[in-house]
Amino acid sequence: MSTQNSGRIGTLGLFSFAFGNIVGVGWIVAVSSWILEAGPLGAIIAFLIGAVFATVIGLCYAEVSSMFPLPGGEIAYAERIFGKVAGIFAGWILAFLFITVNAFEFVSIGWVWGALAPGLRGPVLYEVLGADVYLGDTVVSVLTLGAIAIINARGGQNSSQFQMITTFFLMLLTLLLGVVGLLFGNVQNAAPLFFHGEDSSYLGGFLAVLATTPFWFAGFTILPQALSERSGAVKPNSLKRLIVASILAAGLFYAVIIFGVATAAPKAAYVDGVLPSADAFAFALNHPVGRLLVLLTGFVGLVTTWNAVFMGASRVIIVLKRKLRAEQSKAGFSSGELLVATLVLVPIIFVYGLLGRGGISPFINSCGFAYCILYIITISVLLVARKRYPDEARPVRLRFGIFWSSLGLLISIGMMYLSAREFTILGSGVALEATILTAWLALGFSIYCLIKWGSSFEK
């Protein structure tokens, strides 16, 4: 088995992975709620502030990643400072996130396809929690999963090239949406710029949107998974710029989408629709092509995100397997390892994705809390490493690092609180999201114990 050269992914490739993983398709549905809760200007400001918060956490990631540019990202960080068990714990949380988001992409690609070509959805196969699962949607999801699996099994360079192409088209389509909103919309449609209703205040609606932004910016964490496969021309100290650039570009993306939808049509034209943004642009152009443009943008965004999270998932699976089996750490990934990881992931994603939109929603809701766990682990690693190894060389060293790290930790704890509070609001009694996370951790603990018991038995 040949080992993949770690110098395969260039600067544009790394940026494309980060930006593509941040921006997906959820905005197609969520943008109307952002506008209604905070008003278009309030929502834009909330997302720009959310980008600043994400940048603080991202800068902490940049310093830690430059200290430990090892495969596995958070797995390697936690193991180096807190020990092997902590590393495996971080890896298990990462596996949950990547597998869940892959399943979400599986479901969403079929859903967007069904909206693009409703006549090709085929018969309803079954229903899960009130959501129908169609044959045609499932076939498209399976075919797309197969294509992405083949691209990623061939190594980081192929995945990187595909990512750059899809990211370029995503940016181009987003710019086109902004132009449509500006030329064919009406700024008066955006009024009021800040929402103030009977049961809300300017600040209340703004905070409600701000509380959701950590989830919408979380995708920059894909960079540590790809860092060990960077091109030799990409220096470790460029990671800080890559993280900041991807987050700010995503913030601009969200601002353009919010502006475009808010000006494209009066709220009454899209607020009650299944795909609000598509309805808004169809209204602006007075033609179904507006809806098609939004759905095409969403489809490209989905493929871009799916390629990134599949790449991350395969690397996490490989590194986690190495840790569980106490194998020697390696800098790269062999073609055999990538193939095995792909063969493991594909059936899991397929079965998981068959839950459909209704069945997978609680898993997605739990991802925000899981991301907060990783943020806290990573920033804690940075705080301890700065104290334990103050003079150790690192390509990225933040000025006033203790301040930024402490601020990032406070932001992460606050986000965790908001996520837990959301579980309570959405659930009754013990929230399903909490049950899912507990069950996943219990499964991981059981697997770890079985492997430890097997190793002791062999000795």
Q: Where are the domains of the chain?
A: 11-458
Positive/negative CA dihedral, 97, 99, 104, 105? positive
For a pLDDT cut of 90, what percent of the chain falls above it? 8
pLDDT 10s digits, 86-128:
888 998 998 898 888 888 888 888 877 877 777 778 888 888 7
Q: What is the mean pLDDT of residues 9-24?
A: 80
Residue 25: its pLDDT value, please?
67
Q: What is the mean pLDDT of residues 179-204?
A: 69
Reported as a pLDDT band with limits 50, 70 and 90, residue 146 is very high
Q: Is the pLDDT of residue 347 over 90?
A: yes
Q: Is the pLDDT of residue 236 over 70?
A: no
Which of 13-27, 121-135, 315-329, 377-391 shows the highest mean pLDDT?
A: 377-391
Q: Is the pLDDT of residue 454 over 70?
A: no
Q: What is the mean pLDDT of residues 318-332?
A: 75
Q: What is the mean pLDDT of residues 436-454?
A: 79
pLDDT 10s digits, 273-322:
667 777 788 888 777 787 788 788 878 888 888 888 898 888 888 888 88
Contacts of residue 457, defined as CB under 8 A and 6 or more positions apart, other chains included, come to none
Lowest mean pLDDT among 84-98, 138-152, 349-363, 420-434: 420-434
- How far is the C-alpha of 205 from the C-alpha of 283, rounded, in Å? 26
Q: Is the pLDDT of residue 349 over 50?
A: yes
Lowest mean pLDDT among 71-85, 148-162, 185-199, 439-453: 185-199
Task: Please write down the HEC assignment for all residues of 126-187.
Answer: EEECCEEEEHHHHHHHHHHHHHHHHHHHCCHHHHHHHHHHHHHHHHHHHHHHHHHHHHHCCH
Domain 11-458 has CATH 1.20.1740.10: yes
* Assessment of whether the complete model's pTM goes beyond 0.85: no
Residue 54 amino acid letter? A
- How far is the C-alpha of 444 from the C-alpha of 92, rounded, in Å? 7
- How far is the C-alpha of 294 from the C-alpha of 282, rounded, in Å? 9
Residue 231: its pLDDT value, please?
66
At residue 410's C-alpha, the angle toward residues 409 and 413, to 5°, is 85
The residues pairing with 9 across neighbouring beta strands, listed in sequence order, are 230
Which of 111-115, 136-140, 267-271 shows the highest mean pLDDT?
A: 136-140
Across all residues in the chain, what is the average pLDDT?
Answer: 80
Residue 263: its pLDDT value, please?
84
H runs (alpha helix) in 231-329: 239-264, 276-285, 289-324
For a pLDDT cut of 70, what percent of the chain falls above it? 85
Q: Is the pLDDT of residue 16 over 50?
A: yes
CA 442 → CA 79, 134, 435, distances in Å?
A: 20, 33, 10
pLDDT 10s digits, 163-178:
888 888 888 887 887 7
Reported as a pLDDT band with limits 50, 70 and 90, residue 431 is low
pLDDT 10s digits, 25-77:
667 767 887 888 888 888 899 899 989 988 999 888 888 888 877 777 888 88
Reported as a pLDDT band with limits 50, 70 and 90, residue 198 is very low
Reported as a pLDDT band with limits 50, 70 and 90, residue 429 is very low
